[in-house]
Amino acid sequence: MKRLLLTYTLAVFLLPAFAGGGEKLSPVDYVNPFIGTTNFGTTNPGAVCPNGMMSVVPFNVMGSADNKYDKDARWWSTPYEYHNCFFTGYSHVNLSGVGCPELGSLLLMPTTGELNVDYKEYGSRYKDEQASPGYYTNYLTKYNVKTEVTATPRTGVTRFTFPEGKSHILLNLGEGLTNESGAMLRRVNAQEIEGVKLLGTFCYNPQAVFPIYFVMRVNKLPSQTGYWKKQRPMTGVEAEWDPDNGKYKLYTKYGKEIAGDDIGAFFSFDTEDGEQVEVEMGVSFVSIENARLNLNKEQEGRDFEKVHAEARARWNDDLSRILVEGGTEDQKTVFYTAMYHLLIHPNVLQDVNGEYPAMESDKIMTASGNRYTVFSLWDTYRNVHQLLTLVYPERQIDMVRTMLDMYREHGWLPKWELYGRETLTMEGDPSIPVIVDTWMKGLRDFDINLAYEAMYKSATLPGAENLMRPDNDDYMSKGYVPLREQYDNSVSHALEYYIADFALSRLAGALGKKEDAKLFYNRSLGYKHYYSKEFGTLRPILPDGTFYSPFNPKEGENFEPSPGFHEGNSWNYTFYVPHDVYGLARLMGGKKSFINKLQMIFDEGLYDPANEPDIAYPYLFSYFKGEEWRTQKETQRLLAKYFTTQPDGIPGNDDTGTMSAWAIFNMIGFYPDCPGLPEYTLTTPVFDKVTIRLDPKWYKERELVIESTRQKPDALYIHNVKIGGKKINRFRITHEELVHGGLLEFSIR
């Protein structure tokens, strides 16, 4: 089976190059949802709509009875891994490109033959899997069942094609990626159940717990329905499982509902060969009533094919906001798959009636626009929101409004928010550069005074009271965060604060707050405290003001603890001062020393593309006249090396689109290397022509066209650049120039 699956999937990977017998393909045809599904990319090939709440994903990371596969899905941070082949159902509502396990619940599984509700036994291997935006299918070899899924923004629909005989559909509420196993389900009628499942403890944060509500319907009257509940061994008692009921207690003579840990429901059918049974699933984070409302509104009058067609159309329209010409078929596949991954998160949280759960509260609020969730801001503040600002400004403005509403509801801007809960994952104060960057680029339809109030609060409040900056006392008094425990993240914290404060200083200046602007700008230069002349890198500082010792700048490169640094080492962070590149160069002894040391990062393999703090390193060369070619060379080399059409074609976690946004920007020819600063560094595009559809509400021009003329096909270096027909003698461009220039022209030699 493995050989057949790999052969089949290879054909899927090559499909865009040959589909349609030479017919022109649409952007949606180039998307390959299997890219990033291994190598810790943690993307998945499930069915989802752009920024949709619902995703329906094949779940293949659960253990099997023969111990050939992992026993516990909670070790995984993704519901699907490309090389796994033990399918235990479709999970509803999932995360994409995230490094911590959560969600991945409401597991829907078809079986045939005798009823068995033990997930370690009822799972099946599969073949013939295919995926495209809004659709996934496979064939379960154990049961001879074809499975297919598609989705609307808030609901999913699954179609099972059964053989003749006894067939079953199981809904497992106990298993999944979440650490929680509690649930309740209630029988509405013979074809419909409703309930709630507990989710939470993302990145093992015990406070981040929340419910998901659901309504599930089957379109065929079952011959039998029932519940099950796992019977766990009592402490200190040697328990024996009953083999007659699959180690689970089955309830076929039941009341209206059941609740507890590890519960589920089954529907049994007598099916003819080739008979199809469809399952509809609606979800809500507000109530069962809203889950039903979402289901009724988004699936009424629609069959499986209609839902699939609408999902595909949504994707094609969104992907078509950027049209590319030239380049190879593989490059187009990489590009449009990156666009696809970019548009999965943040996703909508409100139901069709506008209701959503308020931030860190049991209150239910009503949104006037889209309320978003899944703000992985330590990642996305670097490039995702800049790309949304340019190409999808109507979504970016709603995301900023969402952040401000979170402040109204909770008293803080988000850091790593998940379905109305603050997980406090990762570092810094990342909402600040996102909001400042948005405002500086002209998207100003939000309360900037409230935004400034929120930013000023987190920037100035003492650490004991400060959710965003718990070490703010040291930061404010010393200008840096000292290493107080051997394996804390002091340098990483401070570098993030410097960037946030630089962005805040820019906004304060624009708002006429001169003293604040001076205060925050001076703070942003505190990185100089960490510079060690002995090593030529940033180095942790102890509470007494001396450098941490013994010190090795490479410590942490193999995932071992690295004092002062989070998920990386000193080399991954030393050049992460995008707001004061020239100041850092002076510390290092000037331009030549700076350039040589930066080039060494790439030459010696110290650059880690999966670690966000150094993803902007290639653009730092372009701050120095005559060295811009290095940016162009490295970005092209890194694109070709790390972004491919294979399952490992993303360098590590996609981080809710951050890696994908890096690829997109570099493929079209510019990158926002300093968050909060409305400028871009230019680099060599991979396409001959790129047409970006601009929103006339926000931008004067209706489109931005990027054209590249190459002296020869493998030409790499930019000879000259024109914007709006005028030659510019620099390799940086402002956002204002870009969106109002109409035409950006590269001459490449």
Q: Are strands 703-710 and 743-748 parallel, antiparallel or unpaired?
A: parallel
pLDDT of residue 65: 46
Mean pLDDT lowest for which of 178-187, 308-317, 331-340, 497-506? 178-187
Extended strands (E) in 447-542: 531-532, 537-538
**Helix, strand, or coil here: 575?**
coil
pLDDT bracket for residue 253 (50, 70, 90)? low
pLDDT bracket for residue 19 (50, 70, 90)? very low
User: Is residue 128 scored above 80 in pLDDT?
Assistant: yes
Mean pLDDT taken over the chain: 92
Instruction: Indicate the residue type of 728.
Output: I
Burial class of residue 608, CB neighbours in 10 A (0-12, 13-18, 19+)? buried
* Average pLDDT for 477-500: 93
Q: Which two tokens stand for residue 418?
A: 């998940």
pLDDT of residue 76: 81
User: Is residue 520 scored above 80 in pLDDT?
Assistant: yes
Q: Where are the alpha helices (DSSP H) in 559-657?
A: 570-573, 581-587, 591-603, 628-642
DSSP 117: -
- Backbone φ and ψ for 744, nearest 5 degrees, come out as -110, 120
Q: pTM of this prediction?
A: 0.94
How far, in Å, are 681, 689, 704, 707 from residue 692 at the CA level?
18, 10, 5, 11
Say how far apart CA 377 and CA 658 lie, in whole Å: 10
User: Is residue 243 scored above 50 in pLDDT?
Assistant: no
Q: Are 683 and 723 in contact, with CB atoms under 8 Å apart? A: no
Say how far apart CA 356 and CA 346 lie, in whole Å: 15
Mean pLDDT lowest for which of 207-216, 633-642, 666-675? 207-216
Say which CATH topology domain 25-302 has.
Answer: Beta-galactosidase; Chain A, domain 5 (2.70.98)
pLDDT bracket for residue 366 (50, 70, 90)? very high
User: Is residue 206 scored above 90 in pLDDT?
Assistant: no
Say how far apart CA 665 and CA 317 lie, in whole Å: 20
* Average pLDDT for 180-199: 95
- Backbone φ and ψ for 610, nearest 5 degrees, come out as -85, 0
pLDDT of residue 67: 37
Place of tokens 């035409």: 743
pLDDT of residue 255: 65
Q: What is the pLDDT of residues 593-645, one digit of tens each?
A: 999 999 999 999 999 988 889 999 999 999 999 999 999 999 999 999 999 99
Q: Which two tokens stand for residue 12?
A: 């899927």
Neighbours of 64 (CB within 10 A): 18
pLDDT of residue 379: 95
Say which CATH topology domain 373-746 has.
Answer: GH92 mannosidase fold (3.30.2080)
Q: For CA atoms 538, 542, 543, 546, give the dihedral sign.
A: negative
pLDDT of residue 231: 65
Mean pLDDT lowest for which of 98-102, 251-255, 353-357, 593-597? 251-255
Domain ranges across the chain = 25-302, 373-746
User: Is residue 158 scored above 90 in pLDDT?
Assistant: yes
Place of tokens 């944060």: 205
User: Is residue 248 scored above 90 in pLDDT?
Assistant: no
pLDDT of residue 252: 65
Extended strands (E) in 340-429: 347-348, 355-357, 364-366, 372-373, 375-376, 416-418, 421-422
pLDDT of residue 3: 29
CA angle 189, 190, 195 (to 5 degrees): 55
pLDDT bracket for residue 559 (50, 70, 90)? confident
Q: For CA atoms 517, 518, 520, 525, give the dihedral sign.
A: positive
User: Is residue 491 scored above 50 in pLDDT?
Assistant: yes
pLDDT bracket for residue 232 (50, 70, 90)? low
pLDDT bracket for residue 247 (50, 70, 90)? low
How far, in Å, are 398, 413, 419, 454 from residue 409 at the CA level?
16, 10, 14, 12
pLDDT of residue 15: 43
User: Is residue 14 scored above 90 in pLDDT?
Assistant: no
Q: Which two tokens stand for residue 459?
A: 């920037």
pLDDT of residue 8: 33
Say how far apart CA 317 and CA 391 lie, in whole Å: 12
pLDDT of residue 731: 97
How far, in Å, are 17, 184, 341, 522 from residue 431 at the CA level?
41, 36, 21, 20
